[in-house]
Amino acid sequence: MNESSKPMYERIFEALREDIIEKKYTAGDRVPSEKELGDEYNVSRITSKKALELLANEGYIIRQPGRGSFVSDQPAPQPKQQAAAGTPAQKARKEDGKLLIGLVITDFADSYGNGLIYGMEEASRHHNCYLVLRRTFGMPALEEEAIKGLLELGVDGLIIFPAQGEYFNAEILKLVINQFPFVLVDRHLKGISASSIATDNVGAAKDGTNYLFELGHKSIAFLTPPPVDTTAIEERIEGFIQAHAEKGIVVDREIWMENITSTLPKHNTEENKQEDIQKLISHLNKHPQITALFATEFNIGQIAFQAVQQMGKSVPKDYSIVCFDCPETNGRYPFTHLSQNQHEMGRVAFENVLKLWAGQSVPNKILLDASLVVSDSTGPAPS
């Protein structure tokens, strides 16, 4: 990677690591603080904090709250030497040509995830490789554990579907620093120089919104969990807003509902689902001008459908519903939806990891189009 294109936290990390390796700082020495590094490199304390966290995770320094960061008396192995050696499992696989690729994914179901895995598994067969999977249920701690465990197993590359959340975990930062071959799926992480493949969420959300406009809907409630800096949701919001702007329709955020939590990993219970349904019923009663609901995922589309039913209303006569992704049931789709090209996403992700392992370059960001699939959940806006 070109030095000037590296994120600043990575450049600071490498500079300090080099100083420690060359004994500019020896065991027990205090290294510059977050503030001192921020002043020296003209960066925010968040950036300098990332660099120090990486050094601590690699074992170069020990961070002591209230005192500072000090060089460890047990220096960590240099990443390049560590990567070059390889594990016995990796050496054995290189001899017979079969690579092992790890997949870290939040979860999978008929609505989303199965297609991704099918695409990856088919690509693994085609290239005479193997795929090993670990679910994280969207929890950052389990994500870190999965990445560490798969690396200890000796995988040759990783495909990572990151957990929702504002911060990416330190294990992903370490993969970047050590130039380990990995690809992010479904979203990209801000400030991370890593290859990613995802849906064109902006374009897909615009297509779904424009379809509702064509049916005469003007007051469309946008239904989503809290965005929490998750790029896929942020991009769908952006596409929804862009569609309004291009049609000259005012975006009314008062009719949005951004506090649906029962679809999030730690809140996925029947009790929370019923609570979200009641919240949505109250919201729709408060805003009678709403005629359509745009859900950021299938499970939220289901919540919307049940809320409408419990109100004694019908879909699509009283409310139209559009969502992202939808499983086929008895030969039909219950919702008009934006269908992501999961199979292709999985195939390309797998093949790009193999290219990175072979030392080839791949695009930093790949976006695939989604298809609008029209079903019975949408109809003309009521007069």
Whether the per-residue pLDDT at 88 is higher than 80: the answer is no
pLDDT of 56: 82
Q: Is the pLDDT of residue 228 over 70?
A: no
Asked if 347 and 126 count as a contact pair (C-beta separation under 8 A), the reply is no
pLDDT, average across residues 21-38: 88
- CB–CB of 326/296 below 8 Å? no
Which residues lie across from 71 on neighbouring strands?
61
Residues 280-292 have a mean pLDDT of 97
Q: Residue range 50-59: average pLDDT?
A: 83
Per-residue pLDDT, averaged over 92-116, amounts to 81
Angstrom distances, CA of residue 76 to CA of 50, 64, 82, 83, 121: 18, 18, 10, 13, 36
Report the C-alpha gap between 302 and 304 in whole angstroms.
5
Q: Is the pLDDT of residue 10 over 90?
A: no
Predicted local confidence at residue 4, as pLDDT: 55
Q: What is the pTM of this model?
A: 0.75
Q: How much is the average pLDDT of 111-133?
A: 93
Confidence category of residue 5, pLDDT binned at 50, 70, 90 = low
d(C-alpha 299, C-alpha 296), whole Å: 9
In angstroms, the CA 62 to CA 237 distance is: 41
Better pLDDT: 139 or 247: 247
DSSP bridge partners of 244? none
Mean pLDDT lowest for which of 90-104, 227-241, 242-256?
90-104
**Look-up of token digits 């269908």:** 339
Pair of tokens at residue 32: 């510059």
Q: Which domains does the chain have, with CATH numbers?
A: 3-71 (1.10.10.10), 90-197+342-367 (3.40.50.2300), 201-340 (3.40.50.2300)
What are 154's two structure tokens? 């000796």
Span 290-296, mean pLDDT?
Answer: 97
Residue 122: pLDDT over 70: yes
Q: What is the pLDDT of residue 77?
A: 47
Query: What is the pLDDT confidence band of residue 173, given thresholds at 50, 70 and 90?
Result: confident
Confidence of residue 193 (pLDDT cuts 50, 70, 90): confident
Eight-state DSSP code of residue 245 = H
How large a percentage of the chain has pLDDT more than 90? 55
Closest to 300 measured CA to CA, from 233, 224, 235, 202: 224
Three-state SS for 105-147 is ECCCECCCEHHHHHHHHHHHHHCCCEEEEEECCCCHHHHHHHH
Q: To the nearest whole number, what is the mean pLDDT of the chain? A: 87
Confidence label for 80 from pLDDT (cuts 50, 70 and 90): very low
Q: How many CB atoms lie within 10 A of CB 58?
A: 23
Q: Is the pLDDT of residue 95 over 60?
A: no
Is 299 in a helix, a strand, or coil?
helix
